[in-house]
Amino acid sequence: MANVAVVGAQWGDEGKGKIVDWLSERAHVVVRFQGGHNAGHTLVINNVTYKLSLLPSGVVRPGKLSVIGNGVVVDPWALLSEIDAIVGKGVKITPETLLLADNAALILPVHQVLDAALEEAKGKNKIGTTGRGIGPAYEDKVGRRAIRVCDLADRETLEMRLDQLLFHHNALLRGLGAEEIARAPVLDKLREVAPKILPYAGRVWERLDAERRKGRRILFEGAQGAMLDVDHGTYPFVTSSNTVAGQAAAGSGLGPRALDYVLGITKAYTTRVGSGPFPTEQANDIGERLGARGHEFGTVTGRKRRCGWFDAVMVRQAIRTGGISGIALTKLDVLDGFNEIRVCTGYRLDGQTIDYFPSSVSGQAAVEPVWESLEGWSESTQGARSWAELPATAVKYVRRIEELIGAPVALLSTSPEREDTILVRDPFAD
């Protein structure tokens, strides 16, 4: 049986939640492998809306094992709050249905304080983080001073790790002219939360290996998108983790041989939250229309998303760096009613036409899109569940997208409802 990794192929917010939920019905295990509670998925099931940030999307499906891998940075208080909210909607979550990697790094209150202080100090050069401490937590992990889930079970280790962490962060806070973090309140909070979190903790790498050997289908659920990847994205306007599918192996401990199919989620247009380059952005009536029709507000932050036409250069690059096998094209219905639809097929930079997104900050800021105009359609595509229900010009648009990005459309989503999906190729069948 194939194992599938689902990743964003743009700047996040591509509609991964619905697609993962759609796929999770056929999976046995659903794994989050990177990011933190800065990214959110919205699921609508039987008219009930679930907003998830840390919990894998499979958690709302009975009989599935949900896993938070070692590649995720975990705010234990946010996790417990999310569990309570989902349980309050009638979903059963127990240590038998939710497994948290014991070697996952924790997000502490000091990380959020430092996140806000650093953003404030950057002024006009701020990156536009969510302020949830994700970046500082990943910095601590790489700097080998993080407190991990397993440390909560060892009082002596916990105190030692906390002292090392505060020694570093309080020096930074002093330099920023911000108030330092006192040791005792943080230690008290960690001791209080430990018995609530530890029952979920375990060896994720071992359990996933056992599930794989049993022939269980495993679904790896990514957060954010390829162009927010710390290596391959629009650096420095990126997240603090690797968002490409290769991280599914490192962030779960299962290894790359377990990945059989990589599904890239891609909107039929483009959106971005926060600062950073956006070549196809439409800061005009078209952008406003796309945002209004697509309800483009962040699940976690509520921030309005910037909107623009489809960028085939960016998605093509994401497909190559992410090893994407096929895409799920979402929100096609948002384009209903446009007489003309534009697609970016290349960039102009310094008088030359290029077919890649530059690595340099100056290059990213200077590129200008090369446009191709396609005929729009007046008919509605909302709720379509077969190719026959789509207008001919909509089908032509999808086929042209496939040609430009060099990957087939495996699924086509025509509304937020999970059943409004056209299956072209089953990722689990590979």
pLDDT tens digits, residue range 173-210? 888 888 889 999 999 999 999 999 999 999 999 999 99
The mean pLDDT of the chain is 92
pLDDT band at 160 (very low <50, low <70, confident <90, very high): very high
Q: What is the distance in angstroms between the CA of the first residue and the CA of the last residue of the chain? A: 8
Dihedral sign for Cα 140, 226, 272, 19, please.
negative
What per-residue confidence (pLDDT) applies to 194? 98
State residue 175's pLDDT score: 87
* Integer angstrom CA distances of residue 234 from 118, 267, 332, 362: 20, 18, 25, 11
pLDDT tens profile 256-289: 989 999 999 999 999 998 889 999 999 999 999 9
- Give which of 413, 70, 419 is closest to 250, Cα–Cα: 70
CB neighbours (10 Å) of residue 386? 9
pLDDT at 300 over 70: no
**Residue labelled with tokens 């049986």:** 1
Catalytic residue among 41, 111, 169, 232: 41
pTM of the model as a whole: 0.92
Q: Are strands 310-311 and 368-375 parallel, antiparallel or unpaired?
A: unpaired
**What pLDDT is stored for residue 298 in this prediction?**
65
> Which has more pLDDT, 329 or 113?
329
Residue 89: how many other CB atoms lie within 10 Å:
11
Give me the pLDDT at residue 17, please.
78
Q: Above 80 in pLDDT, residue 39?
A: no
What whole-number percentage of the chain has pLDDT above 90? 73
User: What confidence score (pLDDT) does residue 128 get?
Assistant: 58
Alpha-carbon distance 57 to 51, whole Å? 9
| pLDDT at site 69 | 97
Q: What local confidence, expressed as pLDDT, does residue 363 receive?
A: 95
pLDDT at residue 166 in the model? 94
- Does residue 393 surpass a pLDDT of 90? yes
Chain centroid, CA 69 distance in Å: 14
Residue 13 annotated among the catalytic residues of the structure: yes
**Exposed, middle or buried: residue 313 (CB in 10 Å: 0-12, 13-18, 19+)?**
buried
At 404, is the pLDDT very low, low, confident or very high (cuts 50, 70, 90)? very high
**Predicted local distance difference test score (pLDDT) of residue 67:** 97
Question: With contact defined as beta carbons under 8 Å apart, do 105 and 140 qualify?
Answer: yes
Banded model confidence at residue 61, pLDDT cuts 50, 70, 90? confident
Average pLDDT over residues 27-43: 87
Q: Residue range 401-410: average pLDDT?
A: 97
Nearest of 144, 141, 151, 186 to residue 166 by alpha carbon: 186
Annotated catalytic residue 232:
no
In this model, does residue 115 exceed pLDDT 90?
no
Asked whether the predicted pLDDT for residue 25 surpasses 90, the reply is no
